[in-house]
Every structure is written in structure tokens, then in C-alpha cells.
């Protein structure tokens, strides 16, 4: 059930202050799988408070709330304690996409039988490519409803019949990362052949860097990543604050008259691909000065000239940057949006519908997208639908800098990755009021 909407306005057009971001959801989810699969040889610090991460941690610790586990028409008894009770058990990850992909590979190595399911939208998000790869390695996985989509039945442990598997590079990088995380514990190791161009490469590089922190040796030559069989080492992984969350503050700065915001904990040499926001937002006059253990954002007057933005390596930044361009009337062109259609919602369509409310069109032609701002109108108040997508809410929130009033549906949707987003907005002078529709 959707929560109440919020009306937000920004009387203060020159925001300043310090924003403490939660740990990276991407790093946290990888680290938690590594901790579980290593039987706690890997220790994790600064775990994200994001709802997706909390869900994943609860499942891995056997503490998932039974209220989230729903009996299916098969009559199976839903359980809430991992694989420790009578199998098969139903494990419901809700809308947590990363958890679905990572747990699919994780449970192939565990004793017992489970059914992994999720929200209605999760059942529409494909997982067939990952399942096919795991089956090729020897995993026993079956679909319980629609082929290629959750729910899936997994019976472990995997009896490896092949050490090599191929996977397309232009699909979700989470499929690849899921395989890499279990690779060290496969008896024959893992040789992963990436077919074609690799989408979201920084996320794969993040996974491999974190594996290195846990003592895992690997090679990456051309399009082949090889991981020998080996144990995870006793190690500590400290999760960096979330650069994806930082992107919304860059957007607010870009739409402000002046801005000076400090984000502690972020560093210039991040594992996170979304740290590319520093480079992107430099085009909008935002400088990033790394000092005092964080990054300081400042707005400087600058005419936006860059016309093409490629999000192939950082797709989670696309909504944020596109909304900023629309608000500024900057008719840019965007590429690398292919994976946006299989996220929490079809993000391309969602952007098209919501931007139309300020008179801006996002026109698609041969996987290239261009803004038409010829009828842009910032004189009215609008209500933004979120489509159960946290990034829709947070990408559109900066519009309050240029609109008289902005209403955003389902304010609790941000809990998925950034639970304190609204209170952080209030801390820099935004007015945020809940509306009970």
C-alpha cells in the first residue's frame, strides 16, 4: 500500500549545510553476501540503513519478518528463518532487486531447498539470464510461475559440472556480480566469459575490488574473468557512504542560486561508479573539493554546454541528470538508458510521463533520447507519481528549487535506499509537509 504524499518547497534558494549519508547500498549488499558466504570471515562496517539492505541482512541472519513471507497457492508453509527449518521455504525479498539477484546465486551453494520470490513488480523483472548461467554451472533451479521470472525454486548445494560460463555484457551487471561473489567457493572455480560490450562496468569493478579486499585472487583479461577456488580471508570491509544518494544533493546545488554543501565520508577514489556525478555536475557549475574527510560542493555560475550524456556506466544517475537538464531547459541527448526499462519501474516511460507535467518531452529514437524543452513551463505546481521507485521521488525532489510547490506521491518509497532523505532536505531549509490524500 502506498504511503501519503509530501508537498515540498524550497524558500531557501542558497542551500548550505552538512549532510551525513547512509552507507552505500551497492557496497553493503555485496559485503553482506561475502560475509554470509564466508561464514563471517569477512566483517562489515558502516552497513547501509536502506530498506533493501535491511531486508537482505534479515534474510541472511535468519531474522526476516514472517509478515513479509506469504504462502503461495502451492500450499507451501512460509518460513522466516533461512534454510534452518523444513524445506522448501518461501523467502520473499519484496522489491529488493539486488537481493533477488545476489541471493539466487547464494542459495545455490546452501543445503536445502527454498523458493525465492518478491513483489508483483519483482515478478516482472527478468532473471532468466542469471538462472541459465547458474544451471550451466550445475545449479538446480526451476521456475514456479513464469519462465524467466521469479519466483524460483532453488535446491542446493550446487554440484558443479562446468567451470566456465558465458553471459551477455549488455544486461544487468548484478547478474555478473552475483556469479563473481560465489565464484571463489565453486569447486572448479569460475571462468566468466562476457559476451559483447559490458554495461555498468564500474559495478563489476566494484565487486572485484571488494573481493580483493577479502583476499580473493582473480584475473581479468580481455572479456574473461577467472576466479580460482579459494577461501575468503579474514578481513574487514568498511562501506563508503552512498554516491547515488550524493547525486541528489548535486542536483539541488545545480538548480540553486548558490550552494555550499558538505558530504562527509566520500572520497575521490571511490569503488562506486556513481561517483561519476562529480564529473557530470561539473558541466552545471558544481565544483567538488575533497577535504576534511569528505567532499564540499559549491555552485559557480556556468553556462551548460555539454550536449550528450552517456549513462552506460552509471545508469542510476540518469533520472537525476535528466530532470536537472529539463528544469534548466537544456536540450541534451542521453544514451546508455537500456537497463532503465527493467528497474523498479520502466524508468524511461516514467520520466516521459512526469516530465510532461512541466511541458518537457523526452523523445526516444534508436536507443537515443533527447529533451524537447520548447514548451517547458515552471509556473505551475505539479504532483509527481513515483511508480514504487525510490529514485523517481528523489530525482524529482530538486525541482522544488524552481517550482512554486511540488507534491511527490508515496513519500516512504525513499526508504528503499535513503530513509532520511526528507529530514535531510528539511535540514537545509526545505519545507516538507505530509499530505493525507
Which active-site residues does the annotation give?
316
User: What are the φ/ψ torsions at residue 266 (nearest 5 degrees)?
Assistant: -80, 145
* Cβ–Cβ < 8 Å for 99, 59: yes
Mapped onto helix, strand or coil, the DSSP state of residue 136 is helix
Write the DSSP symbol of residue 23.
B
Q: CA-CA distance, 350 to 417, in Å (whole number)?
A: 19
Of 245, 309, 313, 239, which Cα lies nearest the Cα of 281?
A: 309
What is the DSSP track for 210-231?
Answer: HHHHTT---EEETTEEEE-S-P
* Sign (positive or negative) of CA dihedral 211, 212, 216, 221: positive
User: What are the φ/ψ torsions at residue 408 (nearest 5 degrees)?
Assistant: -120, 125
Of 435, 433, 430, 432, which Cα lies nearest the Cα of 401?
A: 430
* Cβ–Cβ < 8 Å for 386, 408: yes
* Cβ–Cβ < 8 Å for 265, 241: yes
Cell of 166: 558465458
The pairing of beta strand 16-18 with beta strand 260-264: parallel
Q: CA-CA distance, 354 to 382, in Å (whole number)?
A: 9
Tally of CB atoms within 10 A around 335: 15
Amino acid at each position: 500500500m502506498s504511503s501519503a504524499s509530501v508537498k515540498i518547497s524550497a524558500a531557501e534558494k542558497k542551500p548550505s549545510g552538512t549532510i551525513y549519508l547512509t552507507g552505500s547500498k551497492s557496497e553493503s549488499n555485496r559485503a553482506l553476501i561475502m560475509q554470509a558466504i564466508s561464514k563471517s570471515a569477512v566483517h562489515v562496517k558502516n552497513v547501509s540503513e536502506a530498506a533493501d539492505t535491511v531486508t537482505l541482512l534479515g534474510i541472511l541472519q535468519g531474522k526476516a519478518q514472517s509478515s513479509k513471507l506469504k504462502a503461495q497457492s502451492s500450499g507451501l508453509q512460509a518460513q522466516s528463518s533461512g534454510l534452518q527449518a523444513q524445506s522448501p521455504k518461501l523467502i520473499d525479498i519484496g522489491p529488493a532487486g539486488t537481493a533477488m539477484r545476489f541471493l539466487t546465486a547464494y542459495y545455490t551453494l546452501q543445503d536445502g531447498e527454498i523458493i525465492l520470490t518478491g513483489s508483483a513488480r519483482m515478478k516482472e523483472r527478468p532473471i532468466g539470464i542469471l538462472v541459465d548461467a547458474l544451471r550451466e554451472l550445475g545449479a538446480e533451479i526451476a521456475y514456479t510461475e513464469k519462465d524467466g521470472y521469479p519466483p524460483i525454486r532453488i535446491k542446493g548445494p550446487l554440484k558443479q559440472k562446468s567451470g566456465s560460463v558465458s553471459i551477455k555484457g549488455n544486461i544487468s551487471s548484478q547478474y555478473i556480480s552475483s556469479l563473481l561473489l560465489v565464484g571463489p567457493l565453486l569447486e572448479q572455480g569460475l571462468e566468466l566469459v562476457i559476451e559483447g560490450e559490458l554495461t555498468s562496468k564500474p559495478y563489476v569493478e566494484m565487486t572485484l575490488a571488494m573481493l580483493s579486499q577479502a583476499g580473493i585472487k582473480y584475473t581479468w583479461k580481455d572479456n574473461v574473468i577467472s576466479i580460482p577456488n579459494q577461501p575468503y580471508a579474514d578481513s574487514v570491509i568498511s562501506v563508503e557512504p552512498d554516491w547515488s544518494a550524493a547525486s541528489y544533493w548535486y542536483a539541488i546545488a545545480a538548480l540553486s542560486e548558490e550552494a555550499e554543501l558538505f558530504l562527509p565520508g566520500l572520497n575521490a577514489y571511490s569503488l562506486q561508479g556513481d561517483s561519476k556525478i562529480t564529473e557530470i555536475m561539473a558541466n552545471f557549475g558544481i565544483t567538488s573539493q575533497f577535504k576534511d574527510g569528505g567532499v564540499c560542493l559549491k555552485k559557480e555560475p556556468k553556462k551548460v554546454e555539454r550536449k550528450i550524456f552517456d549513462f552506460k556506466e552509471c545508469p542510476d544517475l540518469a533520472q537525476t541528470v535528466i530532470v536537472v537538464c529539463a528544469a534548466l531547459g537544456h536540450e541534451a541527448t542521453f544514451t546508455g538508458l537500456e537497463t532503465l526499462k527493467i528497474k523498479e519501474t520502466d524508468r524511461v516511460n516514467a520520466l516521459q510521463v512526469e516530465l510532461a507535467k512541466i511541458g518537457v518531452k523526452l523523445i526516444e529514437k534508436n536507443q537515443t533520447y533527447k529533451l524537447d524543452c520548447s514548451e517547458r513551463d515552471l509556473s505551475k505546481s505539479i504532483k509527481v507519481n513515483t511508480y514504487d521507485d525510490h529514485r523517481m521521488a528523489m530525482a524529482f525532489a530538486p525541482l522544488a528549487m524552481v517550482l512554486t510547490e511540488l507534491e511527490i506521491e508515496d513519500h516512504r518509497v525513499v526508504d528503499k535506499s535513503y530513509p532520511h532523505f526528507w529530514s535531510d532536505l528539511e535540514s537545509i531549509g526545505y519545507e516538507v509537509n505530509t499530505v493525507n490524500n
